């Protein structure tokens, strides 16, 4: 059974930092693109960041560019999201996603991912 388990969310003051982790089990994703999405209450789930199988290509939403960094450790089957200079508008549930087939697909589209974690809450207060 494939599982993606996020961790690292929490409550943080504006301007602070958090590091999210997503550990995959049940299969390896070392040849697959992975990404992060987020969903605030009453809003659609939106793209945050994604990267290729080896981390050689990264993609970011304009709203987080320069503040967030996505990375991965294929030996640990884990993807990370380092979030800095957090703003109250970053408050959301953050979801890890993995593509089920080799290739990047459309990295900022939810439709390109086959596996999803259960989410971890990030709350930024001012």
Q: What is the CA radius of gyration of the chain?
A: 13
Q: Is the pLDDT of residue 101 over 90?
A: no
Strand 58-60 relative to strand 34-39: parallel, antiparallel, unpaired? unpaired
- With tokens 């560019």, the residue in question is 65
> Could you tell me what percent of the chain has a pLDDT over 90?
93
Tokens of 34: 């992975």
With a cut of 90, say whether residue 103 has pLDDT above it.
no
What is the structure's pLDDT at 47?
A: 98
Could you report the per-residue pLDDT of 47-59, keeping only the tens digit for each?
A: 999 999 999 999 9
Average pLDDT over residues 29-39: 95
Q: Is the pLDDT of residue 104 over 90?
A: no
Average pLDDT, the chain: 96
Q: Which residues of 51-63 are buried (b: 16+ CB within 10 A; e: fewer)?
A: bbbeeeeebbbee
């Amino acid at each position: 059974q494939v599982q993606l388990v996020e961790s690292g969310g929490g409550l943080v003051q504006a301007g602070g930092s958090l590091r999210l982790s997503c550990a995959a089990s049940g299969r390896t994703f070392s040849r697959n693109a992975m990404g992060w999405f987020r969903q605030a209450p009453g809003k659609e789930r939106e793209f945050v960041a994604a990267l290729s199988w080896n981390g050689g290509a990264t993609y970011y939403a304009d709203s987080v560019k320069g503040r967030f960094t996505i990375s991965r450790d294929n030996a640990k089957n884990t993807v990370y999201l380092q979030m800095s200079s957090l703003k109250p508008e970053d408050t959301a549930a953050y979801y890890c996603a993995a593509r089920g087939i080799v290739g990047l697909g459309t990295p900022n589209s939810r439709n390109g991912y086959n596996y999803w974690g259960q989410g971890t809450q990030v709350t930024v207060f001012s």
